[in-house]
Structure 1
Amino acid sequence: MYHVLLPVDGDEDRLAKQLETLTTLPGDDEITVTVLYVHEEVDTMPDEAGKSIIDSVNKAIGELQGVPETVEQAVDEIEAAGMPVDVVETQGKPTDRIIEAAEELDVEAILIAGRRRTPVGKAVFGSVTQGVILQGERPVFVAG
């Protein structure tokens, strides 16, 4: 058996590409999958006493946001394909949390979907996919 990390966001098109790629991997009857959803943190200004309320704000945001429907959709389709699956929610910068989760879970590979951006868009907004490929130490499959 080998373990694949499947980070998802709210984009159904990217999820469809990831699931299509997942089901075409060799030995799909021997794959176990962890679906990962990362709640992005929010930066806050300190209050009058200089105390940051970032931890409580971020906890509340994660609880209020919930997870997108794509997480449940991923689980349903992976289970329908006969693969064991579990879900992990975390909070932080997506690139960092994906890499950390891959190491903590000791996965063999990360299956991520790319997003089409112009070079300027990548420079301004960054690219989670690019960050995971360049900073991580695990093999990365990019569904495109």
Structure 2
Amino acid sequence: MKTILLCIDTDVERANEQVRSVTELPLETEQVRIVLYHVFRADDEDADAENLKSVSEAIERLEEAGFTVEVSQSSGDAVRSILEKAEAIDANVISLAGRKRSPTGKALFGSVTQDVILKSDRTVLLSATE
């Protein structure tokens, strides 16, 4: 069985693009487990990723496509959390949603996507939106 760690934020459009990029791959859905993963910025005991519209819509669309979906969450540093989660579940692929930003924007604000790509030894599937 292959495992995809689909790292999802709160943006519904980016989440939909990530789901589309996965569902269009030539995969045998019964041989793939998808772990939807959200990293909250702050530690809030009441936070529940399944209450996020981006996550609930992604679950619905992936299950309709025939995938087995699990939801997981954490809080804190997104890059570290994503890399640790990928290791913990032995993910074959990390799916990320990128945003088109200027080189100056990337330099000033950093990029979770860029850091994960550079620091991971796993395959990274990038879905980019405007």
Q: Same fold by TM-score, threshold 0.5 exceeded?
A: yes
Q: Distance in 2 between matches of 1:28 and 1:131?
A: 30
The answer to whether the Cα contact below 8 Å between 1:2 and 1:108 also exists between their aligned partners in 2 is: yes
Tell me the CA shift for residue 141 of structure 1: 0.7
Give the TM-score normalised by structure 2. Answer: 0.89
After TM superposition, where is structure 1 displaced by more than 6 Å over at least 4 residues in a row? none
Instruction: Report the Cα distance in structure 2 between the residues aligned to 1:62 and 1:10, rounded to whole angstroms.
Output: 18
Partner of 2:34: 33
2:85 corresponds in structure 1 to 101
| Unpaired runs of at least 5, structure 2 | none
2:103 is aligned to 119
Aligned-partner Cα distance in 1 for 2:63–2:119 = 30
| Amino acid aligned to 1:36 | Y
Counterpart pick for 1:132 among 94, 113, 116: 116
Q: CA deviation at 1:62?
A: 4.7
Larger radius of gyration: 1
- Paired with 2:33 and 2:102, the residues of 1 have a C-alpha distance of 34
Deviations 1:82-126 (A, max 9, x none): 100100010111111111100001110011111111111111111
Percent identical: 35
Aligned to 1:7: 7
Residues matched between the structures, number: 125
TM-score (norm 1): 0.81
Provide the aligned C-alpha RMSD in A. 1.3
In structure 1, the residue matched to 2:54 is 70
Structure ranking higher in strand proportion: 2
Per-residue CA deviations over 1:33-88 (Å, capped at 9, x if unaligned) read: 000010113xxxxxxxxxxxxxxxx3xx352x543211111111111111001000
